[in-house]
């Protein structure tokens, strides 16, 4: 049971991570910095609950806020580059954050033991949940309440003018400027919001795993962050959720029984999914296309029955013709 609860926790945190990249992707920014924002949120909120004895919720919000401020600062230089150059720049930022925490020591003695982040050793004893008697189920529930709140907020944003503005900038920057939109404001806002969501994801992650280290926020995690919304599609927030369930639930956990073959299949299935659904798992247009393909298939099956019936009739006709020919041969005197 705990296995499934743990899986739900992972899916919840990764959904938040994917959503933090989703906001940026709407404006056309592909960022590999999301793992870095997650690291900042994780370390800040864990230090607040462990070292400063803050309550959980304010710590999570503070972790998100610090990540948001850093993201805002990253947003300005990031404006100068786009496309592949932005990917490289944000990758460099993410690695810089990771290496910062690799070298970051801040330990104080508490109750006879020293606690706090210790460089490469990581940050152990983030014991807020066990100390306060939270069960795994309660932790899972709490994570999903946060995920639900963020998804609801982003769903609403998508339908507001803000969502249209983000998508407009993502589609055509020249047209967006000419319609009076301030590109700097829009892109930096998206970066800031993405940083906040990534930071909250990191805070939740730190508390349910109880132990974080720089390696938890590497390039692979950053890649997953953008893979979720890209695989899931940018039509709405549920695409990201579907992609996280697909990757974390099915490809990583569901295929574990395949042993080493899993890793091979993992890549192959993602390639397959991207080919079947180039605009994302939950893209409205390709879903409609699949439905009509299914309908055609059903029709083909039905037509197959019809074809077989037709072939039987043709065979009958041929037998009849042969019978007639045999009869007439006599009439021609052959």
Q: Which residues bind other proteins (CB under 8 A)?
A: 156, 160-162, 164-165, 167-168, 171-172, 174-183
Provide, rounded to whole angstroms, the least separation between the CB of residue 177 and other proteins. 4
DSSP code of residue 108: E
Give the DSSP per-residue string, 304-315. Answer: HHHHHHHHHHHH
Which residue carries 């959904």 as its tokens?
Answer: 15
Non-local CB neighbours of 280 within 8 Å, separated by 6+ positions: 229, 230, 231, 232, 233, 234, 235, 239, 243, 286
Non-local CB neighbours of 117 within 8 Å, separated by 6+ positions: 43, 47, 101, 104, 105, 106, 107, 123
Nearer to other proteins, 135 or 184 (CB): 184
Nearer to other proteins, 162 or 269 (CB): 162
Token reading at 161? 């003018």
Provide, rounded to whole angstroms, the least separation between the CB of residue 183 and other proteins. 7
Nearer to other proteins, 47 or 190 (CB): 190
What is d(CA 286, CA 120) in angstroms, rounded to the nearest whole number? Answer: 46
Provide, rounded to whole angstroms, the least separation between the CB of residue 172 and other proteins. 5
Residue 105 bridge partners (DSSP): 118
Provide, rounded to whole angstroms, the least separation between the CB of residue 22 and other proteins. 15
DSSP code of residue 258: G
Rounded to whole angstroms, the maximal C-alpha distance in the chain is 120
Provide, rounded to whole angstroms, the least separation between the CB of residue 157 and other proteins. 9
Provide, rounded to whole angstroms, the least separation between the CB of residue 204 and other proteins. 27
Nearer to other proteins, 1 or 174 (CB): 174
Environment class of residue 154 by beta-carbon count within 10 Å: exposed (0-12), middle (13-18) or buried (19+)? buried
Q: Yes or no: say if 247 and 224 are a contact pair by the CB < 8 Å rule.
A: yes
* CB-side neighbour CA atoms (13 Å) of 254: 13
Nearer to other proteins, 210 or 235 (CB): 235
Provide, rounded to whole angstroms, the least separation between the CB of residue 57 and other proteins. 24
Provide, rounded to whole angstroms, the least separation between the CB of residue 170 and other proteins. 9
Nearer to other proteins, 30 or 183 (CB): 183
Token reading at 173? 């920057």
Nearer to other proteins, 161 or 327 (CB): 161
Residue 109 bridge partners (DSSP): 114
Closest C-alpha among 234, 196, 280, 226 to residue 18: 226
Nearer to other proteins, 44 or 234 (CB): 234
Token reading at 40? 């900042």
């Amino acid at each position: 049971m705990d296995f499934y609860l743990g899986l739900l926790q992972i899916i919840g945190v990764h959904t938040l991570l994917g959503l933090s990249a989703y906001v940026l992707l709407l404006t056309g920014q592909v960022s590999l910095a999301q793992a870095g924002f997650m690291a900042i949120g994780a370390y800040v909120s864990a230090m607040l609950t462990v070292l400063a004895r803050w309550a959980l919720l304010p710590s999570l919000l503070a972790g998100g806020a610090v990540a948001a401020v850093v993201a805002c600062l990253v947003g300005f230089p990031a404006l100068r580059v786009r496309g592949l150059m932005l990917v490289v720049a944000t990758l460099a930022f993410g690695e810089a954050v990771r290496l910062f925490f690799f070298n970051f020591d801040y330990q104080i003695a508490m109750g006879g033991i020293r606690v706090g982040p210790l460089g490469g050793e990581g940050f152990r004893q983030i014991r807020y949940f066990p100390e306060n008697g939270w069960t795994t189920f309660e932790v899972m529930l709490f994570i999903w309440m946060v995920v639900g709140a963020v998804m609801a907020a982003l769903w609403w944003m998508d339908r507001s003018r803000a969502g249209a503005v983000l998508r407009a900038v993502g589609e055509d920057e020249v047209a967006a400027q000419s319609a009076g939109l301030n590109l700097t404001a829009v892109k930096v806002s998206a970066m800031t919001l993405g940083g906040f969501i990534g930071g909250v994801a990191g805070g939740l992650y730190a508390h349910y795993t109880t132990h974080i280290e720089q390696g938890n926020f590497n390039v692979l995690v950053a890649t997953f962050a953008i893979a979720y919304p890209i695989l899931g599609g940018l039509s709405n927030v549920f695409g990201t959720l579907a992609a996280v369930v697909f990757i974390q639930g099915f490809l990583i956990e569901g295929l574990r029984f395949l042993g080493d073959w899993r890793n091979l299949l993992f890549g192959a299935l993602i390639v397959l999914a991207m080919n079947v659904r180039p605009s994302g798992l939950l893209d409205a247009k390709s879903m409609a296309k699949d439905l009509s393909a299914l309908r055609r298939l059903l029709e083909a099956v039905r037509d197959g029955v019809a074809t077989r019936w037709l072939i039987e009739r043709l065979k009958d006709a041929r037998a009849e013709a042969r019978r007639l020919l045999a009869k007439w041969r006599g009439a021609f005197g052959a």
